[in-house]
Structure 1
Amino acid sequence: MKKPKKETRDVIAKHVRWTEALRVVRAYHPEVTIILPEEKIQILPGDDVRAAIAPMVGVIRRALDAGVGQWHGYTETCRVRQVRLLLSHYFHYHEGCIGAEELDLLLEDLLYVHKS
């Protein structure tokens, strides 16, 4: 039995990819912030990761504390995981710039700093 061929998901109309859909949304609604994969902030080895992500961590924490979204857990581990996921939409970490455990410790520290 042959597997059916996978089709791309059409967003706006047939044969319109999601990246094109995002470009259309951004063109007609500039107030909507959409970051395409190729537009992520590149963090290279040797860059100051803390300085790059600290402002965004503060914004995320204040927004979630204010009820813009909601925390997906109350433990520090859950919060770090949620912030790491949100940051992955804005930053691309190149190999060798920071490890996963180091990033978790940094996020835990930044979440504590922005708590006050």
Structure 2
Amino acid sequence: MLPHQFFKMLADETRTRCLLLIAREGQLCVCELTEALQESQPKISRHLAQLRQSGLLLDSRKGQWVYYQLSQDLPGWMRKVIEGLKQSSCLQQEYQADSERLHNMNARPVCC
């Protein structure tokens, strides 16, 4: 993926929020993201499909759940950008409620 394609992917707030939560947590399923972002399942699934098709995310089925995680094949510069976004205090404050809703979620699926 070229840099302009990567940044175009991140230009959408829902995709950025999904990517940041997944990067922070290691892996998440659609139901966790719908709860954290307070968005509909079809909307979250559509954005995850775009992130997966672009090569940013990998998906894996574990029982009845499909989990998403960052691709291991991302170039170093992309990993540095994502890590910088994760560490950004401005973004942490902006999307703190996403993390709080995720961690307060009842009946989170248990992986593995």
Same fold (TM over 0.5): no
Compute the TM-score of the two structures, normalised by the length of structure 2: 0.26
- Greater Rg, structure 1 or structure 2? 1
The structure carrying a bigger helix percent of its residues is 2
